Amino acid sequence: MKFDQHFLIDLVNAKMPFGKYKDWYITGLPVHYLEWFSRKGFPAGQLGQYLSTMYEIKTNGLEDIIKPIISTERTHYR
């Protein structure tokens, strides 16, 4: 699998396109919502990749790896 060096930049700028958390940054989604997707199945495509990556980041306590990217790539953290 080839690593896309811009994946994390795209992830921190991605917003949820539907549902209760529509227009929220994916990085700001609550863990319980990501856990629900993990149980039910992540959507196909890019959105599913973002959600599953964010699930892994949050459930493993790795949010510090995206904070510098957030601070340089957008003005606020939600």
Q: What is the pTM of this model?
A: 0.87
**What domain range is 68 assigned to?**
7-73
Binned average pLDDT, 10 residues per bin, the chain of 78 residues? 77 95 97 97 96 97 92 67
Q: What are phi and psi of 48, to 5 degrees?
A: -60, -40
Residue 53 lies in a domain: yes
Residue 63 lies in a domain: yes
CB–CB of 54/29 below 8 Å? yes
* Structural domain count, the chain: 1
The pLDDT score that the predictor gives to residue 6 is 87
Residue 20 lies in a domain: yes
Beta bridge partners of 15: 25
The pLDDT score that the predictor gives to residue 21 is 97
Residue 45 lies in a domain: yes
